[in-house]
Structure 1
Amino acid sequence: MNALGFINAFDELADPDQRLGRKVANYGLTAALLEYSSARKLFFFLPFARALKPFQDGYGKWLDLPHLKDRLVLLHAQALPGALERVDFTALHAAELDRYFPELCHLRNRWAKKPFPVTCTPHTLNYWSTQVRNLYKVLPGVQKCDAVMCTSRAAQKYLELCFKASSENLSDLGLKQAGYNGQLKITPLGVRASDFGEQDMAQARKILGLPAEGLGILCLGRLTPSDKYDLMPILGAISLLAERFNLFLVLAGAAKGPYAKELKQTAHEMGIGNRLFLYENFDSAVKPSLYSASNIFISPADNFQETFGLTLLEAMASEVPVLASDFSGYRDLIVPGETGFLIPTIGPSDYGPLDAVWPIQAEHIASLQSAARTALDLDDLLEKITLLAKSPDLCRQLGENGRKRVIKEFDWRVVVKKMEDVWQELFRQAQDIKLNPIPGNVLGAGQGELFGHFTGKTLPQQQPIVVGPLARPFAMGKWHKSPHPDLAQVLDNKYLQYLLEIIGQAPDGLSFTEIQKQLKTSWPGYQLEHLILHGLKMGIFSLAR
């Protein structure tokens, strides 16, 4: 490669513990480019002058590497047009889809002396503002050599659907030039495998103050139901497993608001308060110890903002078997039965009411509303934890396989090579393109069309729904006493209680269709479906097997 340009907000440098996945990924990619890139020149365009010192402090141990001498150039983003005029770039990459991609394409079209590809990496995709911004990408400006480097097949399919819907809608309005002209390549994120798996379990547990004995189950990610996942079903599962196994649950991640307190209170009420260990806003230095102290890693993703899954790779690099939702990009990471298991998920068939308010709701509330209607198969999760609890040899084998997979496919050294191969391929294609400065600027599909494929299936219409494993504590008022305030209006517990009474009276359960007929009320089908899904999610109902 000749010269690689890289532009980013570098906001990860303001968060030394980097608990947000996007920041972890962007920091990791920058460090990996500094260490492993083959480019003869590396240009980093910083957002403002005061970012220089944080950049030097944050990446100091790489900036002093001998091989970077005379190869590294740090510039203010304002210098980009001038650099485009004088430097023969092989590619210009942005760490964000929303902030830079079409703008960089237009800059390149206007200022570059020779054609080259512009690429970017998407992260969170489910905010309404992202749908609006995607209009820019289907307007003239993006060239055939440009590409979004999707981190997963799920992200790639989302963008295919979104760009197609936006293009068709604009074309119907008379904008015949509308259409995404670039490519959608799949290049995963990575981890530095050498950062994980070096610590003995006994030592890690001692450092963290965890029990020396027992099955340690870890869930690491933001402690928020609106931006990551709802952990209440996991507490419910642990309360059932605690009757049979000596185990404990570790929940670790960035926390704000009352959710962590609610988790503690629920654990206490379910009789597992002494089995729950919370690490809120932990120091990043203890992250490897959290993995090393664990026998099983769980990630019950239910939120559309999740398109990849760095923590899954970190757990695999630590030789910890992974139980993860059959959801979104997780499918690209876990090899079922080899590195862990994917737990089935069920989502709505009708997102209409959610789509209606998607543009006007706060982003985290819109995320919460859809996540609350994404059910993880709690029965299957219980089965898989039981299997691993009884099979330490299987745990060990899955863990070893996971680390091998990370080293082979997802270590940053390997990922940088994959990205450079893509950049070289796109650069060759760019040589046949004549750049024209084209002005540009313009919405698309709903959540069902864009994200419906994230879950494994929709709620079956004919499969019986039966009383779930957590129905009894729910009926006694000990479990799921009140949903999130922003969910209570449409997912009211009194309706769940009513449905539980109806289903409980049928020895073999009732299908969705049968419940609809029996209710004979004005409930629209989507409302009943959403209530049942939320009940499945919380273990109040189960699908008959």
Structure 2
Amino acid sequence: MNNAAIYYEPSAFHLRGKVMGRQSAGAAFMQAVADARPNRVWCYASARVHAQDCAQTLTELGAPRTGVTWIPFSQPQHLAEPGLLYRPDPGIHADAWRRLTHARPDAYSLCGITHTTASHAVMDVLADLPTAPLQGWDALICTSRSVRDSVQMLVENRIEYLRERTGATRFALPQLPLIPLGVHCERFASTSDKRQNARLKLGIEPDEVVVLFTGRLSFHGKAHPLPMYLGLEANAKTAKIVLLQAGWFAHESIEKAFQADAAALCPSVRCIYVDGRNQDNMKQAYAASDIFTSLSDNIQETFGITPIEAMAAGLPVVVSDWDGYRDTVRDGIDGFRVPTLTLPPGTKLGSDLADRFDMGIDDYDRYCAYTSQLVSVDVEAATQAYRRLIVDPGLRAKMGQAGAARSREVFSWSVIFRDYQRLWDELAERRRADARLAPALTPRRRSERADPFAMFASYPTEHVGPGASFRRHEGIDLAAALSRLELASTSFAKSILPAPALIEALLTALEGDWMPFDVLVRAVPDVSPEALASAVVWLSKAGVLDFHKQP
């Protein structure tokens, strides 16, 4: 993997703690990297320990011989060697500013990826794309056509505002390639023996039809269970149905809500819940099931990996015709897509929901929850889709086989990772070809990330410079000066404080009367003026030196 560095923050690549879609995608990506068996991986990380975590992760995933080269966050200019930085989120705008500050716009490419786009933080990132120093050799991977539409809407709205406000006419934007998330298909393959054992362990009778839902069990942030419960209950008079929900609840009140609603809406359906964070439970769930379903109705969903995992397991799927599901499930081939309905753009209620979220009246969870209440999944169509699969084992087998083949041919990580690498090569070629045509940009810092001594330059009485003079404070010797480095309120900052040798050199140079700073620079020639300036400021703060402005 010599054509990209990975922006590595361990929590983005491990299935620990609170697991969301982006963690699952990150962990699967790392497995794809390991499966590619690269000789070397570039790791762009804040600390060496994170690069070591990257190396350990690759070893655990089967690539012990892959070398990991650490590029510290503080040295982004070294990303020019791999030629591209891939980060597992959409935040490439921030790295574009760092590139402009520390390198050149054509020094390397940037590549990010979308996950949920419903939060304020992500919307802000996406809306800022037109004003960040991004280029046509950068890219933001969109995992579905729907999410790309959302990104384009945010970008176009911001551009329209900037044109009206400033008269701007030229905008450099990243590419928005469409590449889905992938699955490791071999993990989901099953056998008749595995199926028999799984059904035995779960207490499934031979004549029961098992319908599986996997993922977070959240009526407000994933998929409201109401249409699923109603559709299955309508079929429970003609078949013995088990609803196997393999996932997890955020807290007890949500668990009780699911159980209460299931008892009220599908009393004839036998419900089983298993912890989907346990991989053995997940393997059993896929092996024991006959049909997969996910009737997502939530705007926080942008792609939806679980139907592809179910397809890889050979299950026919019944999903809502919603966002990324529309790109992954072929209606009538791999399963059925159930129509959805919501309000048109521009309604007052939509504006009200946006305002309440913007003003902090509603938090993110409630914003998603309220919106999902106004997304309808066709209950009758879901009922009919379930019925066709419940009563027809042959159709289940046919659709399951079609989905399994599609998962291998289109969504296998071996295929997706090659698409990534192909994209990265294309961006490198575009960078080489187009850089000379791009408008020149002056290296600069992002204004809202300013040097604090520039932004707050008017705060102090004086700045270190030719007009400032220093002398040794009376009664302070070297031992007393060095002891100030060890104070409890000071020692935390040792990484930016003067070294003992420099303190000794300064005290020696300042044994006489007041000395102007420019003279002090000549008296300690082996140290840069900037390092001397930092040292005399801190030594003055610590009461080791006195300072005043020359008349």
- TM-score under structure 1 normalisation? 0.74
Hey, what does 1:356 align to over in structure 2? 355
| CA deviation vs aligned residue, 1:240-291 (integer Å, no higher than 9, x gap) | 2212211110112121221221221232344627600112454123212211
Hey, what does 1:539 align to over in structure 2? none
Hey, what does 2:244 align to over in structure 1? 250
CA distance in 1: counterparts of 2:78 and 2:266, whole angstroms = 63
SS at match of 1:336: coil
- Please show how residues 164-313 of structure 1 align to structure 2 within 5 Å: 164-174=156-166, 176=168, 179=171, 181-199=173-191, 200-257=194-251, 258-270=253-265, 272=267, 275-280=270-275, 282-313=277-308
- Please show how residues 43-54 of structure 1 align to structure 2 within 5 Å: 43-52=42-51, 54=53
Hey, what does 2:423 align to over in structure 1? 422
Hey, what does 1:73 align to over in structure 2? 69
* Alpha-carbon contact 2:293-2:319 (below 8 Å) kept: yes
Give the aligned length: 433
Deviating more after overlay: 249-258 vs 44-53: 44-53
* Alpha-carbon contact 2:210-2:241 (below 8 Å) kept: yes
CA distance in 2: counterparts of 1:247 and 1:58, whole angstroms = 41
CA distance in 2: counterparts of 1:262 and 1:371, whole angstroms = 16
* Alpha-carbon contact 1:46-1:75 (below 8 Å) kept: yes
Hey, what does 1:328 align to over in structure 2? 323
Hey, what does 1:24 align to over in structure 2? 24
CA distance in 1: counterparts of 2:25 and 2:222, whole angstroms = 16
Which amino acid is the alignment partner of residue 69 of structure 2?
Answer: V
Q: CA deviation at 1:117?
A: 1.8
Q: CA deviation at 1:184?
A: 0.6
CA distance in 2: counterparts of 1:58 and 1:37, whole angstroms = 13
CA distance in 2: counterparts of 1:271 and 1:364, whole angstroms = 26
Shift of the 59–226 alpha-carbon distance from structure 1 to 2, 3 Å rule, reads: farther
SS at match of 2:5: strand
CA distance in 1: counterparts of 2:409 and 2:447, whole angstroms = 41
Hey, what does 2:41 align to over in structure 1? 42
* Alpha-carbon contact 1:5-1:92 (below 8 Å) kept: yes
CA distance in 1: counterparts of 2:172 and 2:293, whole angstroms = 37
SS at match of 1:185: coil
CA distance in 1: counterparts of 2:189 and 2:292, whole angstroms = 14
Determine if the alignment matches structure 1 residue 125 to structure 2 residue 117: yes
CA distance in 1: counterparts of 2:58 and 2:81, whole angstroms = 26
CA distance in 1: counterparts of 2:318 and 2:269, whole angstroms = 23
| CA deviation vs aligned residue, 1:95-122 (integer Å, no higher than 9, x gap) | 011xx31111222233346533211011
Deviating more after overlay: 300-309 vs 347-356: 347-356
CA distance in 1: counterparts of 2:275 and 2:71, whole angstroms = 37
SS at match of 1:219: strand
Q: CA deviation at 1:62?
A: 3.4
Q: CA deviation at 1:46?
A: 2.9
Q: CA deviation at 1:83?
A: 1.9
Q: CA deviation at 1:23?
A: 0.5
SS at match of 1:387: helix
Q: CA deviation at 1:177?
A: 6.0
Hey, what does 1:155 align to over in structure 2? 147
Determine if the alignment matches structure 1 residue 92 to structure 2 residue 97: no
| CA deviation vs aligned residue, 1:297-343 (integer Å, no higher than 9, x gap) | 11111111111111111000000011111010111101111111110
Hey, what does 2:521 align to over in structure 1? none
SS at match of 1:186: coil
Q: CA deviation at 1:203?
A: 1.6
Q: Which has the higher contact order (CA 8 A, sep 6+)?
A: 1
* Alpha-carbon contact 1:138-1:181 (below 8 Å) kept: yes
CA distance in 2: counterparts of 1:283 and 1:109, whole angstroms = 44
- Please show how residues 323-472 of structure 1 align to structure 2 within 5 Å: 323-349=318-344, 350=347, 351-359=350-358, 360=360, 361-431=362-432, 432-434=434-436, 436=441, 437=443
- TM-score under structure 2 normalisation? 0.73
Which amino acid is the alignment partner of residue 20 of structure 1?
Answer: M
CA distance in 1: counterparts of 2:223 and 2:316, whole angstroms = 20
* Alpha-carbon contact 2:13-2:26 (below 8 Å) kept: no
CA distance in 2: counterparts of 1:53 and 1:356, whole angstroms = 44
* Alpha-carbon contact 2:229-2:266 (below 8 Å) kept: no
Shift of the 441–154 alpha-carbon distance from structure 1 to 2, 3 Å rule, reads: farther
Q: CA deviation at 1:90?
A: 3.2
Larger radius of gyration: 2
Taking only aligned residues, the RMSD between alpha carbons, in angstroms, comes to 2.4
SS at match of 2:133: coil
Which amino acid is the alignment partner of residue 35 of structure 1?
Answer: D
In structure 1, stretches of 5+ residues that fail to align are: 443-545
Q: CA deviation at 1:139?
A: 0.3
* Alpha-carbon contact 1:138-1:180 (below 8 Å) kept: yes
Determine if the alignment matches structure 1 residue 107 to structure 2 residue 95: no
CA distance in 1: counterparts of 2:157 and 2:446, whole angstroms = 18
CA distance in 1: counterparts of 2:62 and 2:189, whole angstroms = 26
Which amino acid is the alignment partner of residue 367 of structure 2?
Answer: A
* Alpha-carbon contact 1:197-1:288 (below 8 Å) kept: no
* Alpha-carbon contact 1:235-1:267 (below 8 Å) kept: yes
Q: CA deviation at 1:61?
A: 2.5
CA distance in 1: counterparts of 2:219 and 2:269, whole angstroms = 23
CA distance in 2: counterparts of 1:343 and 1:8, whole angstroms = 38
Q: CA deviation at 1:415?
A: 0.5
Shift of the 19–207 alpha-carbon distance from structure 1 to 2, 3 Å rule, reads: farther
| CA deviation vs aligned residue, 1:10-62 (integer Å, no higher than 9, x gap) | 31456448742211101111221232276x64212234454355545544323
Shift of the 194–137 alpha-carbon distance from structure 1 to 2, 3 Å rule, reads: same
| CA deviation vs aligned residue, 1:176-215 (integer Å, no higher than 9, x gap) | 2674521111111101011112243222222334444311
CA distance in 2: counterparts of 1:416 and 1:301, whole angstroms = 27
CA distance in 2: counterparts of 1:378 and 1:341, whole angstroms = 13
Deviating more after overlay: 334-343 vs 269-278: 269-278
